[in-house]
Amino acid sequence: MSIAMPPVDPQTFVARRFSGQVMLVTGGASGMGLACATRAAREDASVVICDVDAAAAAEAAAELAAVGGRAVGIAADITRRDDCARMVAAAVEAFGGLDVAINAAGVMDGGDDARPAPLHLASDRYLERTIGINVMGTMFACAAELRQMVDQRRGGAIVNVGSTTGLTGSAGTPAYVASKHAVNGLTRSIAIDYAPHGIRCNSANMGATETPMLARAMDMLSERGDRPKPAAGPMVKPGPLIARPSTIWEQAAVILFLASREASDMTGALVASDGGWTAY
């Protein structure tokens, strides 16, 4: 008989942990990004919610403001350098600077006409869209965030949202796997280049987490049920050691720890928050 490992309570927070700090969250209108923004607001951060969905970003910010948080919503497509510069400028205009950035925007698929597939079957749209958002978009976001942090001369922290597929591999999603390895390489490169500026950069690498993206992935796997499957054996794992999907609040707890000054001695770390998936 195994003992259950219950997830963190969604209402958990550390009082005033981000007091006096401005936090920008890309992909902040849903999933892990929204969980990070919500908890950070409870922890006294001034939050800039950035999302390609303008209405969702505005709604999320309004909901946080309605319960006493300090938040603004900004429409931003991270694949556009100008949008990334504009979202950082919005943080400066609204709250006077930028101290923390959480880059949670990303995709596993490119939409109905650009679904993941083994490489010889993958469409150009799937490859280009996934790499464009996850790699180039994360680079453009980081570049804009770093420029502001360097100019401020007061340090800062960046957390890039990776994946277990950036630490190992995964069948049938070649562009996603490649993109998350790139995000982790970028994270380490930033850590090296910007340590002299007092800027830390880490990545949080999660396994299956209860998000809309996971739901879409499960739907796609069901639809692909008649496709040839990999042979059974060493390449197939039964599941994570904690035998359930992670929650967005568990991931937010890890991400915000890395973003906080409690993680002052951590930079260039690729942290697995995956229920033990990469432990074996």
Residue 259 burial (C-beta neighbours within 10 Å; 0-12, 13-18, 19+): buried
Provide the pLDDT confidence category of residue 185 given band limits of 50, 70 and 90: very high
Is residue 176 flagged as an active site residue?
yes
Domains of the chain, start order:
22-223+239-272 (3.40.50.720)
Candidate list 126, 176, 194, 280, residue with the active-site label: 176
- Rounded CA-CA distance 9/15 in Å is 15
Indicate left, alpha or beta for 233 from its phi (over 0: left) and psi (-120 to 50: alpha): left
Across the range 87-115, mean pLDDT stands at 90
The strands making up 270-273's β-sheet, listed across from edge to edge, are 70-75, 46-51, 22-26, 100-103, 156-161, 199-206, 270-273
- Rounded CA-CA distance 181/187 in Å is 10
State pTM to two decimals. Answer: 0.92
Map tokens 């600077």 to a residue: 97
pLDDT higher than 90, residue 225 = no
pLDDT higher than 60, residue 221 = no
The answer to whether residues 266 and 202 touch, using CB atoms and an 8 Å cutoff, is yes
Sign of torsion over alpha carbons 174, 179, 180, 184: positive
Beta bridge partners of 72: 48
31-80 per-position pLDDT tens digit: 999 999 999 999 999 999 999 999 999 999 999 999 999 999 999 999 99
230-243 per-position pLDDT tens digit: 444 455 677 899 98
- Rounded CA-CA distance 16/183 in Å is 30
Across the range 167-193, mean pLDDT stands at 97
pLDDT higher than 80, residue 224 = no
- Rounded CA-CA distance 232/222 in Å is 18
pLDDT higher than 50, residue 266 = yes
Task: Say how many C-beta atoms besides its own lie within 10 A of residue 87's C-beta.
Answer: 27
